[in-house]
Structures are given as structure tokens and as C-alpha cells.
Amino acid sequence: MRGSLAMKIVVPSFLLSLLVCYSASYPLCTDLRAPFNAGNAGLAFCRYNGSVCCDSAQDLRLQKQFKAMNVSDPGCAPLLKSILCARCDPFSAELYRVEQAPRAIPVLCNSSVSANSTWFQLYMLDFCSNFWDKCRNTSILNSPFAFKSKAKTTAGSGSKISDSWSSAAEFCNEFGQASDNISVCFSGGPVKLRSAENSSTPSGICLEKLGNGSYLNMVAHPDGSNRVFLSNQPGKIWLATIPAQGSGEILGIDESSPFLDLTDQVHFESELGMMGLAFHPNYQNNGRFFVSFNCDRAKWSDCSGRCSCNSDVGCDPSRIGLDNGAYPCQHHSVISEFTTNQSSLGGDINPNEVRRIFTMGLPFTAHHGGQILFGPKDGYLYFMMGDGGSIGDPYNFSQNKKSLLGKIMRLDVDNLPNSTTISESKLWGNYSVPKDNPFSIDKELEPEIWALGFRNPWRCSFDLERPSYFLCADVGQDLYEEVDMVTKGGNYGWRIYEGLYLYHPPQSPGGNTSASSIKPIFPVMGYNHSQPQNPQGSASITGGYFYRSTADPCLYGSYLYADLYGGGRIWVGMENPENSGNFTSAQVPYSCAKDTPIQCDAENESLPALGAIFSFGQDNSKDTFLLTSSGLYRIVSPSRCNYACSKETMTPRSPPASAPSPSPSTSMATPWRHRGLEFLLLSLILSYMLLFGFCCEL
């Protein structure tokens, strides 16, 4: 994005303050409610359609508020109505942005424009002054423009704007917005965002291949070094070393010496196996880490627990349809805790399970999610769980608030209950429930639930720079693969909706939930199975990360995701404006660098054969990786693949082979700091050349 350094830092900071203060809110809305779908017909009063931030009840309240203002002036009334209805705009978080207290009205456009602007542009960009001209002498009951410190009339009486404000300049200084950022001010109707440089799609993604192994999980070592933990689906975990960018070295790993081998306990098949790996936030001191996997109670005696199909959720296990020859709850989802010797924290490990955190029997052999993550701010363990399987979630587990299937759970693994507490509270293992989980608001929810309405959340992540941004990819059924921005208590629609579309299950032995009874949060990104650029069809989505490395500056701040088996197709999601929650995404090409440490197998002349893209990963240098069936790949500088990137000002130089491992104290936190150093160095060079009379040479 073009602009001054100050704008790049200050603008995101105050928007982030809004998100942090209201961490449970959806970032598009200031009324702390998730967006609603008003359809093509739109809201009855405010007339916004599509994805909006008001439901019909809020729309009616705004209508009553407007009526109570008793504005009869035909010139002022429609302008005042539009201002009230701005709360329903899908970008209201931008319009009502504040640092401390919520605004009464949106920021009104008050911009100077060039002489070449049309009359319409002049009118809309100077909406605040035009509003003043039309409404300053209009009597408005309970006016939102009359501050108590300035109002000269009593509360509830007819109040003219001119009673509180003496001029358009004074009024617009309070309620208007300067001309340098008109994309986030209100101009009388739905926000129309102008294009920005950071919204352009990168020309391509350049990859280098570092290893031939097939892995499902990558977790950066908590010590901040260049080491990572890698695990595969059959049940092995390795400690590996990531080489520096441009070093030409390959992944440092000894496949014959795993960090932990759980293949005897893990049941591995197409959608079963070791699914998740997470290290305690205080791992450096306590050595605790957690593994999520599936087991088979017919093969392992310790694989036992309550069945997710039970009387609490109105489900009879004996009537569950069988698939793949398994009987109901033969397989379980398990979270186990292990410890590492605190003196080594990377070598000596206790191979025996310390405690069973969670165990739940599964109705079918598919859709079990299984990823686990620690929240970067709250320190709680998030557990992603699918709907349990079978076509169309026939037992409606995802919408059943008493079922843990089709949910994201949030568990406290630091305050462990005793056996009596577990039995009396019907917990599924050794954990406690955070007191601020959504059940504190919605008493119908099981206490473990953080969000609901998922089919099979496959790979979720928190943004490194904005922890309130928690994105999850959710696998579709027949039509749509989606990416959701997950918030506290959010309902993401399945199986009432598949992405943006109403879904009609082929069978419903478990009953149905009506569309009118929920307030679904629709995807922020995704793709249809029938997209023209997707002739081979889709399998399922693989969620990724916000790209925060400096290796490819044209990818910085974008969200990456892919299709599992769709020929290595990768999408880049760009947010515009920043921190708005409004994303556009596009499929981008990719290729393998000619100087890759390991040559990429070619699908054709320019396309490397990635195979299945199982997961994405990040290391402590913030580099992003693709974990595929053909190996481990890292995203590198676009110039190494001859992709154009105007922001790539230098060709990266290979660091010394003995370069120290990166750590939190030495790694760069933001791209502008990196660019600032480059700019300073370039300025010194230019000054030196000018001083000695070399300007003509330039």
C-alpha cells in the first residue's frame, strides 16, 4: 500500500484497538454482531442487501429511531436516514472506528478534491458539508449530533444542529474525515472502496523444495530457533532444522530417529491418524506438549471413552448407519499429553502418556478435524472437530448445541479437575472449561464449545500480527469450499448452509434446524467446485496462514489457502482495506526456483508436481511452507522464479552457512522495519555519491 510510514503504522493500530477491545465481535461490524444475509430484497427500512451488519429486528429499531426524530424536511430526512442506516453497512467497523468509546454516528466524508472531479464526486466526497447545509436548521428530536457539553436545549426537545455547532467547519471537524483516507468514510450510501496497491494479486508464488518427506503438521520450536517439529499421519514426530533462506541447504532431519513414535497407538487410514500437535506456551519451562490422534478400540485397550452418539444428543448408537465396515464409536478422537526432559527440551522425551486430556468415540470414520492450537493471547487449547462423517451430517450434529461434533472447542489444560469433577460435570477428560466460553451467554451450548456449524474444519491459524484474526478452512459437501473468520459463539451454518448456499440433506434421521432459527456467519473467502479455472474438480480445502515473511513482500499480509487434491491449486486472499474483514481472493500460479536445493518433480514444463497439499506451516522466521505428499516446500523470493514484484527492491543474498538461528528478539516483526533499514542504507549511499559528484553517473 502506498503512503507514508506513519499511515502504515497508525491506521492499523487504532483499528486493532477496536478489535482487541471487542475481541468477541466480527471485524466487519461495530454493533458486535455477526453479519447477516439480507438477500437480494434487502432490509425493509435501510435497504442494504446481501451480507449486512443488521438483522430485521435491528432494521426495525432504526426505523423507530428515525420516526421518533420527527424530521419532516424533505431535503434533510433522506440524508439523516442514510446516516442512521450506516450501522448496517458491511464495513461499519471502518465507519465507526474509534480508540476509546463507540461513536454515535459514522465518520462523514469531508474531503477536498481536484478540479477534475465531477459534480457527483464533489457532492459525495463532501457529504459532511452537504449534510450541514441541508440539515443545520432542521429540528431533530433526540439528535445524535448534540453533545451534552455543547447542546443549548434540554434533552428530548427539538434540537437544531446549529444550536450545538456554529459552522460547517466546526461540525465537520468533529464528525468528518480528512481527505487522505476517504475510503473509510460515509458518503451517503454503501461503502465503495477504491482499489489499493495491496489489493492487487501477486504475479506468482515461488517455491523451493527442502525435503522429500510427507508431513501433516509443522510446529515451530518454542525456543525461537530455526528448528521445527514435523509429524506424519501414521504417528511419528521428528525434530528438524530449517536452513536459512538462500543457503542452498536442505531440511536437517533424521527420519530413522523420531522425536516420538506413537504408531502403535495411532490408527491410520485415509481420514484417521495423528492429526494435531501443539506445544504448551510455557514449554520452555514445563516441557508439556499435546498430540491429537485417532485410535481403534478393537486394537488398543486404552482407546476407550464415551460415544459422541448418545442420549444427551438424542442419538441411538445402535441405529447409526455403518461406513467402511466400522461399528459406531470403534474409533476415537484423543488428545494426549506428553513431557520432555526439562534439561534438554528437544532430545530426551518420556514416551509414555502423562495424561489423557480428551477422548470421544466417533459415529463414522470421516470428518474428525483433529487440529489443536494454543490461543496466542489466552493460552487456551483450541480443538477443531468435524461433524463425524456421512453425507450431509444426517444426525445434524453440527447444529446440535449438546454435541461436540462440528464444533471448535476451547479447553483449559492448566487447571485440571479431579476425577469427581469430571464425572459430575460430564467432561470428556482432564481439562477445565474457561469461564468466558460462549456457554456463559448461551446456556444451551455445551461448555467446551467456542464456535459451531462446521462440516470438517481443516487447518486453522491465528494471524501472527493480529491474534483476533482466527481463520479456519471448512470442507464443503458438493458446492463450496470456505474460509471462515472464527469468533466467540459464532455459528458458521453447516448443515443449513454450505458456504453461501442453502443445503438440503438427502436424509435427516436426526432432525433439522430451520434457517430462520440461526444467525449464520458466512465465509470471508472460498471457491465453488464448478469454477471455470477448476476443470478437474475439487476435493477439499486446506487452510493456511497470513503470510508474514519478508521473503516475498508482494504476498505480505495476504492469506494463503489451497485445494487438497486439486492439482496444487493455491489461492491468495487479499484484505481491503486492512483490518476490515473484507477479502477478495484469486488463484495464483506457482513454480519451483531453478536453484532449489532439491529438484522439484515436474507436472509439466513450468509446474512442479506437488501432489496433495495436506497443510501449511510457519517457522520462527515467519516463512511459510507447504506440506505435501511429494515433500516439504518453502515460499521464497519471487525473483527466483522470475515473477515480477514491485516491492522486491533487492535480490536476497545468501547468508553465511554459520548464520545464527533466528530468535524472537532478533527476528523482524514488521515489513516496514525491514524496508526502513533498506531506505536508510540507500539514502546513505545516494548521499555519498552526490557528495563526491557522481550524480551524473546515476
Structure confidence by residue, pLDDT tens digits, 227-263: 999 999 999 999 999 999 989 999 999 999 999 999 9
Distances (CA, A) of 680 to 81, 108, 677, 686: 50, 38, 5, 10
Residue 577: asked if its preceding bond is cis (omega within 30°), the reply is yes
The C-alpha cell that represents 595 in the structure block: 536453484
What is the rounded distance in angstroms from the CA atom of residue 454 to the CA atom of residue 473?
9
For 471-495, write each residue's pLDDT tens digit. Answer: 999 999 989 999 999 999 999 999 9
pLDDT of residue 590: 94
How big is the CA angle at 383 (ends 377 and 386), to the nearest 5 degrees?
A: 140
What is the rounded distance in angstroms from the CA atom of residue 444 to the CA atom of residue 422?
19
Does residue 654 have a pLDDT over 70? no
pLDDT of residue 69: 92
Residue 139 CB contacts under 8 Å (≥ 6 apart), including other chains? 70, 71, 158, 159, 160
Share of the chain above pLDDT 90, in %: 56
Element (DSSP H or E) covering residue 240: strand 236-241
Element (DSSP H or E) covering residue 93: helix 92-95
Render 527-591 in DSSP notation, one character per residue.
EETT-TT-TT----EE---B---SS-TTTTT-EEEEESSSTT-EEEEEESSTTS--EEEEEE-EE
Count CB atoms within 10 A of the CB of residue 339: 17
Residue 665 CB contacts under 8 Å (≥ 6 apart), including other chains? 224
End-to-end CA gap in the chain? 27
For 18-55, write each residue's pLDDT tens digit. Answer: 333 333 334 456 554 456 777 767 888 998 877 788 88
pLDDT of residue 112: 43
The C-alpha cell that represents 38 in the structure block: 439480507
Render 390-421 in DSSP notation, one character per residue.
STT-TT-TTT-TT--TTEEEEEBSSSPPPHHH
Task: Give the least confident one: 80-94, 290-304, 432-446, 530-544.
Answer: 530-544
The C-alpha cell that represents 653 in the structure block: 543474498
pTM summary value: 0.70
Domain ranges of the chain: 5-194, 205-641, 671-698
Q: What letter would DSSP give residue 87? A: G
The C-alpha cell that represents 650 in the structure block: 533487492
Superfamily of domain 205-641: TolB, C-terminal domain (2.120.10.30)
Render 104-171 in DSSP notation, one character per residue.
SSPPEE-----TT--HHHHHHHTHHHHHHHHHTTSEEET-TT--TTT--S-TTSEEEHHHH-SSHHHH
Residue 184: which pLDDT band, with cuts at 50, 70 and 90? low
pLDDT of residue 211: 98
Strand 501-502 with 525-528, pairing: unpaired
Q: What is the mean pLDDT of residues 353-379?
A: 96
pLDDT of residue 194: 43
The C-alpha cell that represents 34 in the structure block: 455477526
pLDDT of residue 689: 44
pLDDT of residue 7: 34
What is the rounded distance in angstroms from the CA atom of residue 410 to the CA atom of residue 407?
10
Instruction: List residues bridging with 575 in a β-sheet.
Output: 583
pLDDT of residue 606: 63
Higher pLDDT, 683 or 313: 313
Mean predicted lDDT score pLDDT of the chain:
81
